[in-house]
Amino acid sequence: MDILETIKTRRNIKVFKSDLVDQDKLLLWLQAAAMAPNHRMTEPWEIYLVGPETRAKLNHKTNFGNAPFVIAVLSKYGKTDIETEENALATACFVQNFVLAAWAEGVGTFWSSMGGNTKNREILGVPEGYEVIGVFGVGYPEEIPEPKQRTPIENKLKQLS
């Protein structure tokens, strides 16, 4: 798949097959993700591979679509609010790199923001000074949803003088 095709066909996957994803591939996609832009090379991301006990405690409403893997992606706070915001932006770039690298090889992701609340932070063991950007089911899609329509980008373009 070329890059445009990968970007355009990606979906947030809600139901997964039980087939495992090669762990070496996961590592490869995480390594690619870490090439994300990040201001001052803060590399603010941390990745937790969520094991079965922790996953059960998270009690996600669909068990992450029964994805074979669940990962949580954290972003470190900075010394200032701006740095914290830039770190979160960098970590979102990290996530998108990971999502697209996986998707290019037929593997989908389910983005859940449920890791942010206090109870789930505790379950995940998130230390002070970090925020949870998302908890992700990762696996081969059982169903690929239809694309959700986007506003034509022309409507969001503004020509400045």
Ligand X SMILES: Cc1cc2nc3c(=O)[nH]c(=O)nc-3n(C[C@H](O)[C@H](O)[C@H](O)COP(=O)(O)O)c2cc1C
| Cα-based distances in Å from 54 to 50, 68, 133, 148, 159 | 6, 14, 17, 32, 49
Contact flag: residue 11 with ligand X (CB under 6 A): yes
> Least distance from C-beta 96 to ligand X, angstroms?
9
Closest CA to 39 of 78, 8, 96, 95: 78
Residue 4 and residue 125 in contact, taking contact as beta carbons nearer than 8 Å: no
| Closer by beta carbon to ligand X, 18 or else 113 | 113
Stretch that binds ligand X, among 16-24, 28-36, 46-54, 108-116 (CB under 6 A): 108-116
| Closer by beta carbon to ligand X, 11 or else 17 | 11
Residue 120 and residue 114 in contact, taking contact as beta carbons nearer than 8 Å: yes
Contact flag: residue 77 with ligand X (CB under 6 A): no
Give residues in contact with ligand X (CB under 6 A).
11-12, 111-114, 134, 145, 148
